[in-house]
Chain A
Amino acid sequence: MATMRTAAAAIIRVACGVRPLPEAALPSGPCILFANHSSHLDFAVIWAALSPARRAQVRPVAGRDYWEKTRLRRWLAESVFRAVLIERQKVTVTTNPLEPMLAALDAGQSLIVFPEGTRSRDGTLHGFKSGLYHLARARPTVPLVPILLENLNRILPKGDILAVPLIASVAVGQTLTLVPGEAKLAFLDRARASIVALQPS
Chain B
Amino acid sequence: MHPDRATLMMLAGIAGILVLASAIVGLLKLRQPPGAATPVIVNLAARVRAWWVMAGIFTVALFTGGIGSVILFALTSFFALREFITLTPTRAADHRVLFWAFFVVIPIQYYLVATRWYGLFAVFIPVYVFVFVPIRCALAGDSERFLERTAKIQWALMVCVYFVSYVPALLMLDIPGYAHANARLLLFFVLVVQISDVLQYVWGKLFGRRKIAPTLSPNKTWEGFVGGVASATGIGALLWWATPFSPAQAAALSLVITLMGFCGGLVMSAIKRDRGVKDYGAMIEGHGGVMDRIDSICFAAPVFFHLVRYYFTP
Q: Which of A118-149 contact B (CB under 8 A)?
A: 121-122
Residues of B within 8 A of A (CB): 78, 82-83, 85-86, 90, 92, 95-96, 98-99, 102, 281-282
Q: For the complex, is A164 an interface residue (Cβ under 8 Å from B)?
A: yes
Q: Say yes or no: A167-B96 contact (C-beta < 8 A), given A19-B282, A154-B90.
A: no
Q: How far is the CA of A122 from the CA of B144 in the complex (A)?
A: 14
In the complex, are the beta carbons of B102 and A122 less than 8 A apart? no
Any chain B CB within 8 A of the CB of A108? no
Question: How many angstroms from the CA of A80 to the CA of B90 in the assembled complex?
Answer: 33
Residues from chain A with Cβ under 8 Å of B282 in the complex: 19
A158 closest partner in B (C-beta): B92
Q: Which of A17, A122, A151, A162 contacts B92 (CB 8 A)?
A: A122
Known: A19-B282, A165-B102, A167-B281. A160 touches B86 (CB 8 A): no
Q: Which residues of A contact B (CB under 8 A)?
A: 17, 19, 121-122, 151, 153-154, 157, 160, 162-167
Distance, CA A151 to CA B114, complexed state (A): 33
> CB-CB < 8 A to B96: which residues of A?
160, 162
Question: A164 with B95: in contact, given A17-B82, A19-B282, A151-B86 (CB under 8 Å)?
Answer: yes
A-B contact pairs, 25 of them (CB 8 A): A17-B86, A19-B282, A121-B92, A151-B86, A153-B92, A154-B86, A154-B90, A154-B95, A157-B92, A157-B95, A160-B95, A162-B95, A162-B99, A164-B85, A164-B95, A164-B98, A164-B99, A164-B102, A165-B78, A165-B82, A166-B85, A166-B86, A167-B82, A167-B86, A167-B281
Query: When chains A and B are docked, how far (Å) is the Cα of A122 from the Cα of B91?
Result: 9
In whole angstroms, what is the CA distance A121 to B91 when docked? 11
User: Complex: how many Å from CA A13 to CA B11?
Assistant: 34
* Secondary structure of the B contact surface, majority rule: helix
Count chain A CB atoms within 10 A of each CB in B85, B86, B99, B282 and give the residue with the most: B86
- For residue A153, which residues in chain B have a CB less than 8 angstroms away from its CB? 92
Q: Is the CB of B90 within 8 A of A167?
A: no
A90 to B44, CA, bound (A): 60
Task: Give B282's nearest chain A residue, CB to CB.
Answer: A19
B residues less than 8 Å from A163 (CB atoms): 99
A166 to B126 alpha-carbon distance, docked (Å): 23
- Which residue of the partner chain B has the closest CB to A162? B99
Chain B residue with Cβ nearest A151 = B86
Q: Give chain A nearest CB distance to B153 CB in angstroms.
A: 11
Question: Hey, which chain A residues are within 8 Å of B281, CB to CB?
Answer: 17, 167
B90, B92, B98, B102 — most chain A CB neighbours (10 Å)? B92
A201 CB to closest chain B CB (Å) equals: 9
- Of all A-B residue pairs in the complex, the 6 with the closest CB atoms, nearest first, are A167-B86, A166-B86, A164-B98, A162-B99, A164-B99, A165-B82
Residues of B within 8 A of A164 (CB): 85, 95, 98-99, 102
5 further A-B contacts with Cβ under 8 Å, apart from A154-B90, A164-B95, are A154-B86, A163-B99, A165-B78, A165-B102, A166-B85
Cβ contact within 8 Å between B92 and A166: no
Q: How far is the CA of A171 from the CA of B98 in the complex (A)?
A: 25
Known: A19-B282, A154-B90. A167 touches B83 (CB 8 A): yes
Q: What's the nearest-Cβ distance from chain B to residue A164, in Å?
A: 5
- Residues of B within 8 Å of A157, CB to CB, are 92, 95
